[in-house]
Each structure stands twice: as C-alpha cells, then as structure tokens.
Structure 1
Amino acid sequence: MTSASDLRSGKTDRDENFPVASWIIHPRHRALILSFYNFVRTADDIADHASLGADEKLRYLDVLEAELLGKGDTQKEAVSLRQALAERSMAPRHALDVLVAFRMDVTKLRYENWDEVIHYCRYSAMPVGRFMLDVHGESTATWAASDALCAGLQINNHLQDCGKDYKNLNRVYLPRDALAASAATVEMLGEAKSQPALLQCLHALAARTETLLNESKSLNAEVKDFRLGLDIAVIQAFADKIVGMLKVRDPLSERVHLSPLELLGYTFGGVAGEIIRRAMGRRPLTRPAAGA
C-alpha cells in the first residue's frame, strides 16, 4: 500500500479559509494542532482523490484509523498525531469523528435536506472546533457555540466550491429540497454561471448559514484562553465576510474567497476588536438574522 502521504493534494494549512495554528495561538499548542491538521488534511485528500476507487479510499481511511489507535507505524500522519495526543494525555475522539465524515464523502454523494447537511458537519467540522477547545482546556459548555461556527464555516465552503465539487467529484452538498424549492437542478452546477433558479437557492442557503453563524457569536466570550478568544474572533470575521459575499455573488462565476489583503485586514480587525471587547467587558454583538 502506498503511504497516505503520497496521496496528499499539496494543499496546506496556508490554503484554508481559516487560520490553522496561527501566530495568535500560544506556541505550546501549535505542534499538536498541526499534527491534527495534517492527519485531517491527509484523510480529506484521500476521500477527494481523483483516481482512487471508493474501496481503496475506504481502505486507506481504515489504515489511518488503525494506526491512530496504535495498530501500526507506517502512516506518518497517524503516528505523529497519536504521539502528540499521548504527550498531552488526550484521546483521539475528534480525529476519529472526522474519519466518519470522510467515509461519508466516499459513500454519500447527495443530501436530502438541511438536517442531513448538519449531520455531516457534526463529523466533518464540529470535531475540529471541539479539538481546539480541548487543547486549550476549555469547558464542553463552549461546544454549542463552537459547533455553530464550525458548521457555518463548513457550509460556506460547500457553497464556495459547489461547482467544483459537482464537476470533479459528482458530490453535491446542496440539499435536494432546497434545490427543488427554487426549481433548480443539480445539473445547473455544471454550468459556467448560475441560472436564476440556482442563484436563488444558493443565496437562500447563504442566508440560512448566516443565521447559523449568528448563533456562534458568544463563543469568543465563553472561552477563557485569551489567545484562543482572539483566534476565534478572527475566524468569525472571516466567516462573516465570506457569507456576506455568498449572499450576493455567484460562486460559479464570481470570486467568493478572501484576498491576501482582505485576510490580513480582517485578521487585525478581529484581533483589535476582541482586545477592545475584553478590555471593556462587553459581550459580542449579535446581529439580527436577515429579514428579522
């Protein structure tokens, strides 16, 4: 069996929609976070691999899981994470959860409704936030707001990449009932520009995602770790800007990603805003949902 490392797409933590082990996070946590990221990125790249068959993908994911649990030493990402977790006496529960999502990516190509998408996010995105909170010793009471933020980030990504996911992987995360409500079809995702029906569907899903992100606004105030609070504020700023673009733009034909300058600006804006908020003891502002 080829090493899972050889199946990596080349995407790194620098290519994500959110900062991974950024300079904001305390240095003592970065090695563990990067080990977790590299494990997750490797599994994600396996699930999305263009030339591997479904059975091969599932076999690689099984090997990563087995070695994460100590049954072998051939896959460096699994071994590295296993060792990093052991050093902190942490269980691999969150890494095991994300493997559930990547197996779903291999076997499930369509989603019937919003609840099915959120169920996917429960395994693809929410464990990442929960892992970060555990690394920083935060209470599980913070999980609800974190889950909302992580699900919002995941669905933002689904909307950004909806055309690419369909064309390259025949995978559609847009709920069937949402498409039907707008009289849109899956096949419209293969076009260079969204037809009005599809654009209506995409904008409605973005608005629903904005409501979800609004449920996460308390998170940076709920966490005790100052640096983590700053990091969350930055991620929230990124997510809010992206969902704002998705509410008015066409991801099939327009840019819906942040430029390097925008990333820099929202990073410093998020940091400054959170420092001021903590200094003044204010709760985060919660914006009303669209149409409220």
Structure 2
Amino acid sequence: MTPASELRSGKTDRDENFPVASWIIHPRHRALILAFYNFVRTADDIADHALLDAPAKLALLDELEADLLGQGDGQAEAVVLREALQMREMPPRHALDVLTAFRMDVTKLRYADWDELIHYCSFSAMPVGRFMLDVHGESKATWPASDALCAALQINNHLQDCGNDYRDLDRVYIPQDTLDRHGASVEDLKQAKASPALLACIRELVAKTETLMHESETLTVHIADVRLGCDVAVIETFAWQILKMLKLRDPLSEKVHLSKASMAGYALAGIAGGLWRRATTSAPMPRSTTPGA
C-alpha cells in the first residue's frame, strides 16, 4: 500500500485562491477544516499525479474512502479526518462526494455542455461549501447560494488553468458545445497564446459564472455565524476580482492569479463589505429547497 501522503504535490492551503481555515474562522473549527482540506488535497494530488496510471489512481482513491469509512487505517489523511468528524458527530458525506469528483477527473476528460460541467461541480466544489456550513451549524437553506458560489470558484479555477489542464493532464473543462459555438478547438489550448475563438469561449463562461456569483449574493447575509459570513465575503471578493482578470487577460499567456499582497487588500475590503451588508440588509432566510436536505 502506497502512503498517499508520499504522492502530495507540495501544494498547501496557502497556495489556494481562497482562504482555508483562515484567522477569520473561529479557532474551534480550524482543526476539522484543515483535516478536511488535507484529505481533499491528497485525493486531488492523486488524481493529478503524472506518474500514476488510471487504475492506480482509482485504487488509491478507493483506499482513502475505505479508511474514511473505518475499513482500514493505512492512509493517514483519511484516518485524521474520520476521527475529527467522529468527534463532532458529523457524517463523511461531503468528503465522499468530493472523492466522486476525483474519480471523474481520472475517467472523464471532456464535458459536452454547461450542464455536464455543473454536474461535475456538484461533486468537486459544492460539497466543500456544504461542509463548511455544516461545521458551523448553518441552515441547509443556505446550500443553494453556497452551491452557486462554489461552482463559480471551481469554474474560475478551470479557466485560469485551462492551458495547463490540457497540456499536463489532457483534461478540458471548457464544454465542447461552447468550443463549437465559437469555432474553437481543443488544440487551441496547447498554444502559447489563446486564439480569438478560444478567448470568446472563455468570455462566455465568465458571463455564466457571473450569473452564478449573483445567485450567491444572499449567502453572506443569511449565514448566522458572523466569522463565517465574513470569510465568505472575502471569498466572493476574490472570485469577482479573478473574473475581472479573466475578462481582460489571456490565461494561456498571462498570469490570472491574485498576488499575496492584493489578496490581503481584497480580504480587508471583503470583510468590510460583508459586515456592511449584514448590518444594512434585512433579507428573509430562504426555505430549504435542497434535495435530500
């Protein structure tokens, strides 16, 4: 059995486009959130590993799941998360959903349309937001807005890294019907500079992602925990800034990531904006419409 920790890429929570268990979050939640993050990061690194074939990746993901469910103790990240969840009497539901996404990363390399991409996000991104809400004891009525925000974050990431995803992993998250509509091809993604057709595809997906962001606007107000609400406001601010960059820059030839310095400034702006919205907005909590909630 290969320890999954030996396959880690070296990427940590400090390298993400969003804060992970930041100082904004109450300290009592941070250990569980970091355990979840380390489990997810380990699974992600397995799915992306350049030297493993598909069967080996799937076998390792199965081991993570088995250990998370208490059927073994070989993978440390799964055991740590399992024990952390047990201490809080929380089920492993969201972690299991994310494993489904990483299996998809191994076996599904193309997406036909926007609906298929959102279906992928329902496993790769939405469970992460739901986990954070559950950790804080929030109402499941917040899930739809959180789902929209998390899908937007995922698609931002896909657009930022579209060239590397294709060149390194043969993965294309830009839907085929979007490529067809603008006369672009998958081969455009391996060029040093994006073609006008590919840029048109990216701009279309940015517009759809902006719609998701608007669908998530009530989330900060409806979250009961003030610290979590501020954390979400920071994440929203980062996401909007990345969307602005994607409108103006070519992700194949230009950097489309926030610098550490700019993230600090946007974080302060996000906290201030989130607190202002909470103080000045009176919005009723939506009824839960989440299937199975």
Shorter chain as denominator, the TM-score bin is over 0.9
Query: 2:221, 2:281 within 8 Å by CA — same for their partners in 1?
Result: no
Q: Following TM superposition, by how much is the alpha carbon of 1:172 offset from its aligned partner in structure 2, in angstroms? A: 0.3
Query: Where do residues 17-36 of structure 1 align in structure 2 (5 Å cutoff)?
Result: 17-36=17-36
Aligned to 2:65: 65
Unaligned runs of 5+ in 1: 284-292
Query: 1:65, 1:96 within 8 Å by CA — same for their partners in 2?
Result: yes
How many angstroms apart in 1 are the aligned matches of 2:29 and 2:200?
42
Aligned to 2:11: 11
Aligned to 2:290: none
Query: Where do residues 192-231 of structure 1 align in structure 2 (5 Å cutoff)?
Result: 192-231=192-231
Query: 1:204, 1:247 within 8 Å by CA — same for their partners in 2?
Result: no
Instruction: Give the match's secondary structure for 1:247.
Output: helix
How many angstroms apart in 2 are the aligned matches of 1:282 and 1:9?
44
Q: Following TM superposition, by how much is the alpha carbon of 1:100 offset from its aligned partner in structure 2, in angstroms? A: 0.3
**Letter paired with 2:171:** R
TM-score (norm: length of structure 1)? 0.96
**1:119 counterpart = 2:106:** no
**1:234 counterpart = 2:234:** yes
Deviation beyond 6 Å, 4+ runs, structure 1: none
Query: 2:101, 2:120 within 8 Å by CA — same for their partners in 1?
Result: yes
Aligned to 2:79: 79
How many angstroms apart in 2 are the aligned matches of 1:198 and 1:141?
37
Aligned to 1:148: 148
Q: Following TM superposition, by how much is the alpha carbon of 1:27 offset from its aligned partner in structure 2, in angstroms? A: 0.1
How many angstroms apart in 2 are the aligned matches of 1:20 and 1:192?
32
TM-score (norm: length of structure 2)? 0.95
Which string of whole-angstrom CA distances, capped at 9 and with x for unpartnered residues, describes residues 4-62 of structure 1? 00000000000001000000000000000000000000000000000000000000000
Query: 1:148, 1:212 within 8 Å by CA — same for their partners in 2?
Result: yes
Query: 1:203, 1:248 within 8 Å by CA — same for their partners in 2?
Result: no
Aligned to 1:288: none
Query: 2:182, 2:200 within 8 Å by CA — same for their partners in 1?
Result: yes
Aligned to 1:289: none
**1:250 counterpart = 2:250:** yes
Which string of whole-angstrom CA distances, capped at 9 and with x for unpartnered residues, describes residues 218-238 of structure 1? 100111000000000000000
**Letter paired with 2:254:** E
Which string of whole-angstrom CA distances, capped at 9 and with x for unpartnered residues, describes residues 100-146 of structure 1? 00000000000000000000000000000000000000010000000
Q: Following TM superposition, by how much is the alpha carbon of 1:204 offset from its aligned partner in structure 2, in angstroms? A: 1.1
Among all aligned residue pairs of Structure 1 and Structure 2, give the percentage whose two residues are the same amino acid.
69
Query: 2:43, 2:99 within 8 Å by CA — same for their partners in 1?
Result: yes
**Letter paired with 2:16:** E
Aligned to 1:101: 101
How many angstroms apart in 2 are the aligned matches of 1:209 and 1:161?
16
**1:50 counterpart = 2:50:** yes
Q: Following TM superposition, by how much is the alpha carbon of 1:282 offset from its aligned partner in structure 2, in angstroms? A: 5.5
RMSD over aligned Cα atoms: 0.8
**Segment drifting more, 224-233 vs 206-215:** 206-215
Unaligned runs of 5+ in 2: 284-293
How many angstroms apart in 1 are the aligned matches of 2:227 and 2:206?
29
Which string of whole-angstrom CA distances, capped at 9 and with x for unpartnered residues, describes residues 126-179 of structure 1? 000000000000010000000000000000000000000000000000000000
Q: Following TM superposition, by how much is the alpha carbon of 1:278 offset from its aligned partner in structure 2, in angstroms? A: 2.3
How many angstroms apart in 1 are the aligned matches of 2:209 and 2:236?
13
How many angstroms apart in 1 are the aligned matches of 2:203 and 2:276?
33
**Letter paired with 1:88:** R
Which string of whole-angstrom CA distances, capped at 9 and with x for unpartnered residues, describes residues 180-224 of structure 1? 000000000000000111111111111111111111011001110
Query: 2:48, 2:169 within 8 Å by CA — same for their partners in 1?
Result: yes
Q: Following TM superposition, by how much is the alpha carbon of 1:2 offset from its aligned partner in structure 2, in angstroms? A: 1.3
Query: Where do residues 264-275 of structure 1 align in structure 2 (5 Å cutoff)?
Result: 264-275=264-275
Aligned to 2:133: 133
Aligned to 1:287: none
Which string of whole-angstrom CA distances, capped at 9 and with x for unpartnered residues, describes residues 231-288 of structure 1? 00000000011011112211001111001111001100011112222233466xxxxx
Instruction: Give the match's secondary structure for 2:38.
Output: helix
**Letter paired with 2:165:** D
How many angstroms apart in 2 are the aligned matches of 1:90 and 1:247?
40
